[in-house]
Chains A and B, each alone.
Chain A
Amino acid sequence: MSRERRPAATLHIDWTLCDGRGLCTELLPERLARDEWGYPLARDGSGGDVPLAASQLEAARDAVALCPRLALTLRKD
């Protein structure tokens, strides 16, 4: 397995906190879409643990800091 194939980190969405305010979907458009109620939807179908490439870490950190519901955590693998 080559190292760059593995995700650099995982963005965990706590669904009990998420209110679909849309900040994370703006910051990580390659990773997150919105469902018909405005909640984030992982484009790869990964659900509440979204794998991130190294180039998306910066945007993910912003999303974690700016989420109005504190629903996001960044997990380094």
Chain B
Amino acid sequence: MNEALWALGRGTGVVALLLLTVSVVLGIVTRSGRPLLGLPRFSVTLVHRNSSLLASVFLVIHIVSLFFDSYAQLRVVDFFVPFLGAAKPFWLGLGTLALDLMLAIIVTSLLRRWIGRRVFRVVHWFTYALWPVALAHSIGNGSDGTSVWFLALALASVVLVAVAVAWRVSANFIEFGNARKGETR
């Protein structure tokens, strides 16, 4: 039983991280206002939202399964308060920190219409902290964190996010950006 919980906890953690990577990349590129690889703009936004939702579901399974796993020695306080863990407190704490950020981002996303765009956006920017913290947690805490296949996946994720960020800060990122600046040619 413990073996099964542990496997479930590992697997769902990896899947949650990969889904989070997809969501982060799409969240960055959707800001350009351009369609992506044949996906219309509204689909990019929908896939961004749905991959985050799916990541949250996998994250819940990840946390609950490891809570019942005796090796991880999780307590309820470790869900929300970082760096108090019994095993690998620093790396576990990063996971807790990522969860706290994730909760704040989920709540403000769901309440976007009522809290206004400014609060939503400021909290949403914390995704840029959440994602590297979650990645560090998976490498430092994960049983597979330093295995070759996982590091390859992590490296690919870093490259994807880095490319998205590089495009985000480049001059031609915003669709119609040149027309709006008056540089029509």
* A26 in contact (CB, < 8 A): yes
- Contacts A23-B45, A37-B176 hold; do A70 and B33 have CB atoms under 8 A apart? no
Question: In this complex, what residue of A is CB-closest to B116?
Answer: A70
Binary per-residue interface labels of chain A (39-77) against chain B in the complex, 1 for a CB within 8 Å, 0 otherwise: 000000000000000000000001100101110000000
Binary per-residue interface labels of chain B (32-49) against chain A in the complex, 1 for a CB within 8 Å, 0 otherwise: 010000001110011000
Q: How large is the interface on A (under 10, 10 to 19, 20 to 34, 35 or more residues)?
A: 10 to 19
Main secondary structure of the interface of B (DSSP, over half): helix
* A6 in contact (CB, < 8 A): no
Within 8 Å by CB of A21, from B33, B112, B113, B179, lies: B33
Tell me how far the C-beta of A70 lies from the nearest C-beta in chain B, rounded to whole angstroms.
Answer: 6
- Contacts A70-B112, A70-B117 hold; do A20 and B176 have CB atoms under 8 A apart? yes
Residues of B within 8 A of A26 (CB): 40-42
- Contacts A23-B42, A26-B42, A68-B45 hold; do A38 and B175 have CB atoms under 8 A apart? yes
A68 contacts B176, C-beta separation under 8 Å: no
* B30 in contact (CB, < 8 A): yes
Main secondary structure of the interface of A (DSSP, over half): loop
Residues of A within 8 A of B31 (CB): 68
* B185 in contact (CB, < 8 A): no
Residues of A within 8 A of B40 (CB): 26
Residues of A within 8 A of B176 (CB): 20, 37-38
Q: How far is the CA of A27 from the CA of B35 in the complex (A)?
A: 13
B contact residues vs A (CB 8 Å cutoff): 30-31, 33, 40-42, 45-46, 112-113, 117, 175-176, 179-180
A contact residues vs B (CB 8 Å cutoff): 17, 19-23, 26-27, 36-38, 62-63, 66, 68-70
A-B contact pairs, 9 of them (CB 8 A): A19-B33, A21-B41, A22-B41, A26-B42, A38-B33, A63-B42, A66-B42, A68-B45, A70-B112
